[in-house]
Amino acid sequence: MRGQDDRQAYDRGTSLFSPDGRLYQVEYAREAVKRGGASVGVRAVDGVVLAAERRIRSSLLEPRSIEKLHKIDDHNGVASAGHVADARQLVEEARQTAQVEQLRYEEPITPEQLTVEVSEHIQEYTQAGHTRPFGAALLVGGYVDGKPQLFETDPSGTPYEWQATAIGGSSDEMETTLEAEYDPEMGIDAAYSLAVSVLTDEEDPDPENVAVAIIDEDGYRTLEQDEIESVL
């Protein structure tokens, strides 16, 4: 049985496997994702809802500036969790990827292709020397060619497609709730209610503490505070 001392021998560089085939730095980067607030994504038949927890540490902080929801292009959005500065780099990478694709093929990138390309970028940071993995995970929601889709990418650079999922702190509990309550036939309104209720999980949640974006046939848009309030 291996103790802590053995583990320490293999977790100092991204270029090393442990004897049992694990990449400790990638696992630690996953811990960085767990340290931040959660984000939730729910796919409806007519769109995708992304919602993100807000942890406002001061009344003087503009909530908008710590939001973890990002428009990528007219048809795709991202909700992030984990190390904020790392997540922002990935969002920037996603935007450039979407723009290049749009210019090259004259049609919008699908959320799947977007997730796959960002994931490859992330993987390279887990294999190259002289760097560290990204300590962030992303939910990518998109609505392209009449098809709503929800993807996740994690610090190893693996893409997953979900009906609904959560990333970040407490995401395990949230996933359990989502599994219990998700209905594949739900419309965007029900999806939106589900996402917000999973994220807030309180008797009397404060609309200030949550941010919501919807991506549907009208494209990407964020919800105003009063729209959120009406759900809570």
Residues 19-78 that bind its own copies (CB under 8 A): 19-25, 28-35, 58-62, 64-66
Q: Which of 109, 125, 137, 199 binds its own copies (CB under 8 A)?
A: 125
Q: Cβ closer to its own copies: 30 or 219? A: 30
Q: Please choose, out of 101-109, 117-125, 192-200, 217-225, the segment that lies near its own copies by the rule CB under 8 A.
A: 117-125
Q: Which of 108, 111, 133, 148 binds its own copies (CB under 8 A)?
A: 133
Site string for its own copies, 177-196 (x = CB under 8 A): -xx--x--------------
- Please tell me whether residue 102 binds its own copies under the rule CB under 8 A: no
What b/e sequence results for 145-159 when a residue is b if at least 16 CB atoms lie within 10 Å of its CB, and e otherwise? eeebbbbbbbbbbeb
Point out which residues pair with 71 in neighbouring strands.
Answer: 77
Cβ-defined contacts of 84-91 (< 8 Å, 24+): 84/36, 84/136, 86/32, 86/134, 86/135, 86/136, 87/134, 87/136, 87/138, 89/134, 90/118, 90/121, 90/122, 90/134, 90/136, 90/138, 91/138
Q: Cβ closer to its own copies: 57 or 204? A: 57
Q: Please choose, out of 12-20, 198-206, 208-216, 222-230, the segment that lies near its own copies by the rule CB under 8 A.
A: 12-20
Q: Which of 53, 73, 86, 101 binds its own copies (CB under 8 A)?
A: 86
- Phi/psi of residue 152, nearest 5 degrees: -130, 145
Number of residues that bind its own copies (CB under 8 A): 73
Question: Is 142 in contact with 135 (CB distance < 8 Å)?
Answer: no
For the CB of residue 84, give the shortest distance to its own copies in the complex, in Å: 4
Structural tokens at position 206: 């404060």
Q: Cβ closer to its own copies: 60 or 103? A: 60
Question: Rounded CA gap, 20 and 9, in Å?
Answer: 12
